[in-house]
Amino acid sequence: MKEVDNKNQFFRKQLLDWNAEHNHRDMPWKGEKDPYKIWLSEIILQQTRVEQGLAYYNRFIKTFPTVHHLAKAPDNTVFKLWEGLGYYTRCKNLIASAKYISVELKGKFPDKYEDILALKGIGPYTAAAIGSFAFNLPHAVVDGNVFRVLARYFGIETATDTTEGKKLFTNLANELLDKKTPGIYNQALMDFGAVICKPQQPLCHECPLQKTCTAYQHDLINVLPVKEKTIIKKPRWLYYFIVEHNGNVYVRKRTGKDVWQNLYEFFLVENEKELSLKEIEKLTVLKKAIGKIQFELIDISKIYKQVLSHQIIYGQFIKVKILSELEIDGFEIVGKKKLKTLPFPKLINSYLEE
Ligand code: SF4
């Protein structure tokens, strides 16, 4: 038991010393005490790399300096600003929580762990991060960086993506947490994982934990942390018809449970496998949808690709001009100016930008 305590104490002390003397990782939200800004940064960074998230964070803070600004903004404006970040449920939850904090809580961000956790889109990791950074609450953050550092240093072979693994790592992280300065400790551990104990080629030669690190001592760096499941990405084939009339095009908002909820799209046909050019040119489905109206095929784009966490989406855009206006259920017809203000998935934006 004493040996375990000693190892834990050593870990904590080395980490905090490294943070005080060598941690030069600078980010605009570091040291931030405003829970609104911390919350924004954490939601943006949930499934996004720091380098990409940074510009979004700055734009959000500039456009919505307070939770009231965010709560009052039209949903489409927020989605437009979010465009490109993916995982749009995050944005939907962000809007819902902003409205709740602004209206129900009169703008006062909750300051208890359970109340923070109860906000939409906030899990234990984000609640611990906001709680410890803004209110010094003693809750350890457990993210990918933390899993990696702890798995390697303590030589834990339990898979991080299992219920057992999550419990084990969370308990250990909370035991290790420096209760006096939880915010500083949490940030230090995440920085250490990002800068020193990196996923690939960790900087073991600079690491203050090297002498007692199990993975280093037993050549397990490339083995730890262990994950049980490898995600198989399912391919999908989307064919978008850009139906144009007098310079305007038909668009609709995506609803339902599929990806890209609340974003806009063109007339869509999904196929189980790739269609040949000949099959696309037949435009059978489009003909069914628009009936006898005459149209002209203008262009068929190259294939665009977007990789999501569980699927690979291939998309092709088929531009057609119809000679008289028609009504397609659920669609609105918009001009170029309005088109630019609507939020689209990255796949469609890549095509529009070209
Ligand atoms: Fe990570 Fe290497 Fe340090 Fe071990 S010695 S904690 S593997 S950086």
Q: According to the 3-state scheme, what is the secondary structure of 10-69?
A: HHHHHHHHHHHHHCCCCCCCCCCCCHHHHHHHHHHHCCCCHHHHHHHHHHHHHHCCCHHH
> Residue 4: enclosing H or E segment and its boundaries?
helix 2-22
Structure tokens given for 300: 């068929």
* pLDDT class of 155 with cuts at 50, 70, 90: very high
Ligand 1 neighbour 212 (Cβ under 6 A): no
Predicted pLDDT of residue 211: 94
pLDDT at residue 154 above 80?
A: yes
- DSSP E strands: which ranges in 115-246? 234-245
Predicted pLDDT of residue 30: 84
Q: What share of the chain is helix, strand, coil (3-state, %, to 5)?
A: 50, 15, 40
Distances (CA, A) of 327 to 56, 297, 331, 337: 37, 19, 8, 21
The per-residue pLDDT for range 13-43, each reduced to its tens digit, is 999 999 999 999 888 788 889 999 999 999 9
CATH superfamily of 2-217: Hypothetical protein; domain 2 (1.10.340.30)
Least confident of 163-172, 206-215, 307-316: 307-316
Find the mean pLDDT for residues 198-217.
96
So which residues are the catalytic ones?
42
Ligand 1 neighbour 215 (Cβ under 6 A): yes
Predicted pLDDT of residue 1: 58
Distance between CA atoms of residues 326 and 168, nearest Å: 60
* pLDDT class of 85 with cuts at 50, 70, 90: confident
Substitution candidate for ligand 1 out of 15, 18, 209 with most atoms within 8 A of CB = 209
Cβ distance 268 to 251 under 8 Å?
Answer: no
Residue of 326 and 188 predicted with greater confidence: 188
Please tell me the distance between residue 13's alpha carbon and the centre of ligand 1 in angstroms. 15
Predicted pLDDT of residue 2: 66
Substitution candidate for ligand 1 out of 15, 17, 212, 213 with most atoms within 8 A of CB = 213
The per-residue pLDDT for range 291-320, each reduced to its tens digit, is 777 888 889 999 999 988 789 999 999 999
DSSP summary character for residue 222? T
Nearest atom of ligand 1 to the alpha carbon of 213: 4
Topology match between the domains 2-217 and 234-353: no
pLDDT at residue 69 above 90?
A: yes
Please tell me the distance between residue 204's alpha carbon and the centre of ligand 1 in angstroms. 5
Phi, psi dihedrals of residue 122, rounded to the nearest 5°: -115, 120
Q: How is the chain split into domains, by residue range?
A: 2-217, 234-353
Kindly give the pairing relationship between strand 234-245 and strand 311-322. Answer: parallel
Distance between CA atoms of residues 179 and 181, nearest Å: 6
pLDDT at residue 351 above 80?
A: yes
pTM confidence score? 0.77
* pLDDT class of 136 with cuts at 50, 70, 90: very high
CATH superfamily of 234-353: Nucleoside Triphosphate Pyrophosphohydrolase (3.90.79.10)
